Structure 1
Amino acid sequence: MSRPIALSCLLLATAIWGFAFIAQKTAMDVMGPLTFTGSRFLLGGLLVLPFALRENARQPEKLDRRQWALIGFLSLNFFMGALLQQLGLQFTTVTNSGFLTGLYVLFVPVILLVVFRQPPHKVIWVGMPLALIGLFLLNGARLDRLNTGDSLVIASAVFWALHVLLLGYLAIETRRPIFISAVSFLAAGVLGLSGALAFETPTLSALTAGWVEILYAGALSTAVGFTLQAIGQQHVPPANAAIILSAESLFAALGGALILGERLDALGYVGVAMIFAAVFLVELLPNLRRKPVTQPG
């Protein structure tokens, strides 16, 4: 897969996720966060499973214990990121949640440098703050008073950062991006529904009332969006991918305009421009500075 196609996969994933914020928020009117989280991921996992099994069967080498352990750790981070974000949405605004979730743009290169001793390309240290400032301006250049929900969303951003790092690594090593995604979806679905049975009172009427939100979040945001992320990250470094995925807020703003009638102010448009600038910067500058390969004569 070429780099432009991989970039297109990541951008399409962000578009799907941006609109999913509305579904995630409205679903809380009729069901608990564990019920919604478990339902959407179980649905997404079942939809992707046939493709995942086919992909796995085509690989000549089986997964070893270390790889399965890493997939298990990835699935746990995936579940915790989604759950903490969903819990936070009960107590904070979509504006705060959109900005604070985007903090994984900061956490990914920091974790790469501090934990894995892998310094990202120098352009990341320009693109990362540019994207963060853009996110801040896109969300009105203000945050409502920070509360418990905000703390939960900030914690979710740490798990999302670990998810981005592990997903990129495992997708390349195992050559099973769809299979890894399906396993993490199903694991998160089982954990979510188990928690719902223990701590909530899921009912058929609640699931019926929120079927549109579950369908969008399960079929599109989960099955399509996260699978596109896994495929795209095989060809895009994690720190670059984090900045590209921060464009999710752009599509969240677009969804708010189309569905909720919200409009951006002048600072919001400046934020949009800065995020786009960060995406193009981290993708184009390294390639422009790369020396052309001389063909043998």
Structure 2
Amino acid sequence: MKRTVPAIAALVAATAVWGSTFIVTKDSLDELDPASFLTWRFGIGAVVLLLVRPRAVTLLNRADQRRSAALGVALAAGFLLQTTGLQHTLAGVSGFLTGAAVILTPVVAAVFFKEQVGAAGWAAVALSAVGIGVLAGGLTAGSPVGAALTLAGAACFAVHITGLSQWATRENALGMTTVSVVVAAVICGVVAAAGVDGITVPTSATAWRAAAYLGIVATCIGFAVQAWAQAALTATTAAVVMTMEPFFAAVLAVALGESGLGWLGWAGGLLIVGGMTLAELGPRECCDAMAPRVECC
């Protein structure tokens, strides 16, 4: 019990940080294009991860190196789509739609890894789909294109999560994470360089702080806190806490003056979070694509 309360508090703080990334990123896009911003974010994160434990990468075998590179491609695609979509939609909406990755994960596992999806998985997908429809219908600001790009990004995140659940172990997790972040940084750099203005360098202290915050605090420290907290918590407790990320994103966005979500938007967001909770807590068999749960990896 003594460790449980601090662990829950730490995980709530990490979840709040992840929720804040939507509004921080959206504000930074006034100065940088999505690909350039992500190049700096992942570049900073990659440097930190390499400095923390450089041998983690060299210990990976060739199969794990290839798999890590594939995960990096999915990670880069997901963030490029999500961040581009964030230019055309609300930060709160982006948070809710990105949360759909939890529901899409068992579907990806079924399609690419031929795993079964149980009743809880399909019920979660259906509930979330209704929520997305309600949310879209309740928007008073933003573009349908932005929502579509964000959902496509969530699908890429689902591929990334599924790959980790299939390939990551306690021994290779840090190495695979490092390689995937490095690959994501390189891909984003290539996309940015191919653009009209090339890779844009932040010109303000605010943009540099945002990139550092997301690269170090949200990525490196956030995942480290998550690992520490989950060592003292049950998977159920951790899952419930982490489904609050879209709420933090939406609440912070509204607190900072973002409007346009509307009561239907909030209702849709609640349905999406309900689907996330069902996906994490619903019953499943040992052969279900949703077992073990996403957060165990």
- Taking the aligned partners of 2:269 and 2:18, their CA distance within structure 1 comes to 17
Helix, strand or coil for the counterpart of 2:67?
helix
Distance 1:136 1:19, change over 3 A: farther
Matched-pair contact (CA < 8 Å) for 1:81–1:160: yes
TM-score (norm 2): 0.73
- Taking the aligned partners of 1:150 and 1:265, their CA distance within structure 2 comes to 15
- Taking the aligned partners of 2:147 and 2:279, their CA distance within structure 1 comes to 28
- For residue 99 of structure 2, the aligned residue among 99, 102, 118 is 102
- 1:187 is displaced (CA, Å) by 1.9
- 1:188 is displaced (CA, Å) by 1.6
Matched-pair contact (CA < 8 Å) for 1:105–1:132: no
- Taking the aligned partners of 1:167 and 1:5, their CA distance within structure 2 comes to 27
- 1:263 is displaced (CA, Å) by 10
Residue type matched to 1:180 in 2? M
1:186 maps to 2:182: yes
Helix, strand or coil for the counterpart of 1:47?
helix
Matches within 5 A, 1:1-297: 13-53=14-54, 62-131=59-128, 133=130, 141-142=138-139, 146-172=143-169, 175-199=171-195, 200-204=197-201, 206=203, 208-226=205-223, 246-260=243-257, 281=278, 286=283
1:162-210, CA deviations, whole angstroms, 9 ceiling, x for partnerless residues? 01111222222x6232222222222222222333233234455535451
- Taking the aligned partners of 1:34 and 1:156, their CA distance within structure 2 comes to 14
- 1:160 is displaced (CA, Å) by 0.7
- 1:70 is displaced (CA, Å) by 0.7
- Unaligned runs of 5+ residues in structure 2 are 285-297
1:198-245, CA deviations, whole angstroms, 9 ceiling, x for partnerless residues? 323445553545122212211122223355668869x969xx97x975
- Taking the aligned partners of 1:8 and 1:18, their CA distance within structure 2 comes to 15
- Taking the aligned partners of 1:67 and 1:5, their CA distance within structure 2 comes to 34
Matched-pair contact (CA < 8 Å) for 1:167–1:230: no
| Structure 2 residue aligned with 1:295 | none
- Taking the aligned partners of 2:40 and 2:235, their CA distance within structure 1 comes to 30
- 1:43 is displaced (CA, Å) by 0.8
Matched-pair contact (CA < 8 Å) for 1:96–1:144: no
Helix, strand or coil for the counterpart of 1:63?
coil
Helix, strand or coil for the counterpart of 2:214?
helix
- 1:267 is displaced (CA, Å) by 5.9
- Taking the aligned partners of 2:200 and 2:112, their CA distance within structure 1 comes to 43
Distance 1:223 1:136, change over 3 A: farther
- Taking the aligned partners of 2:74 and 2:21, their CA distance within structure 1 comes to 20
- 1:255 is displaced (CA, Å) by 1.4
1:4-31, CA deviations, whole angstroms, 9 ceiling, x for partnerless residues? 9999887655432210001110111111
Distance 1:249 1:89, change over 3 A: same
1:45-79, CA deviations, whole angstroms, 9 ceiling, x for partnerless residues? 2222233436568xxxx432222111110011001
1:142-161, CA deviations, whole angstroms, 9 ceiling, x for partnerless residues? 47675433332222122111
- Taking the aligned partners of 1:162 and 1:130, their CA distance within structure 2 comes to 20
TM-score (norm 1): 0.73
Distance 1:236 1:73, change over 3 A: farther
Tell me which moved more, 187-196 or 75-84: 187-196
Matched-pair contact (CA < 8 Å) for 1:74–1:163: yes
| Structure 1 residue aligned with 2:292 | none
Matched-pair contact (CA < 8 Å) for 1:105–1:246: no
- 1:91 is displaced (CA, Å) by 2.6
- Unaligned runs of 5+ residues in structure 1 are 288-297
- Give the percent of matched residue pairs that are identical in Structure 1 and Structure 2: 30
Distance 1:236 1:166, change over 3 A: farther
- The alignment's C-alpha RMSD in Å is 4.1
Tell me which moved more, 83-92 or 224-233: 224-233
